[in-house]
Amino acid sequence: MSGEIPDIEIVSLVVCDEIRKEDNGKGILIGVYIDDILVREFPAALALSLWLHLRISSAAEFPFEFRFTETNGTHASEVGGMAKIKQKGAAVITTPPVPIILGGEGDLKIESKFGDGEWEPLRNLKVGLMKA
């Protein structure tokens, strides 16, 4: 395995509160966010985990980063690691819970970067207040 970045197709991204792994390797995704993050008040402190399903052209090891940015451009948080993909085909990258402080209503933009590549948009989640 080299440090080159293989061709990567992002199949899906799940944003959730926590990711666990069963003894048999199956993933458990807890507190999945569909389109919105609703909080009681601002600023709001929470932790988000990412589960990224990929299709990859070859086995590889490469660094990855994910960045969270609010609508107003405020950098909310960032997380990274080293992907160690053992074979071509389906692969999963996960993150531990990433602490984030949300300052107000709007969008939370999630972006990714693999190796020395450019930041690429992954997903936007609407952030708002819970209705009483």
Interval 25-47: pLDDT, tens:
899 999 999 999 999 999 999 99
CATH number at residue 26: 2.60.40.2550
Q: What percent of the chain lies above the pLDDT cut of 70?
A: 98
- In this predicted structure, what is the pLDDT of residue 4? 76
Is residue 62 in a domain? yes
Average pLDDT in the chain? 93
Is residue 22 in a domain? yes
Residues of the chain predicted below pLDDT 70: 1-3
Residue 1 near residue 43 (C-beta atoms within 8 A): no
- In this predicted structure, what is the pLDDT of residue 113? 95
- Domain membership of residue 106 as a residue range: 8-129
Is residue 49 in a domain? yes
Is residue 3 in a domain? no
- In this predicted structure, what is the pLDDT of residue 74? 85
Is residue 44 in a domain? yes
- In this predicted structure, what is the pLDDT of residue 1? 47
Is residue 52 in a domain? yes
pTM attached to this predicted model: 0.90
Query: Number of structural domains, the chain?
Result: 1
Is residue 111 in a domain? yes
Is residue 85 in a domain? yes
- In this predicted structure, what is the pLDDT of residue 76? 83
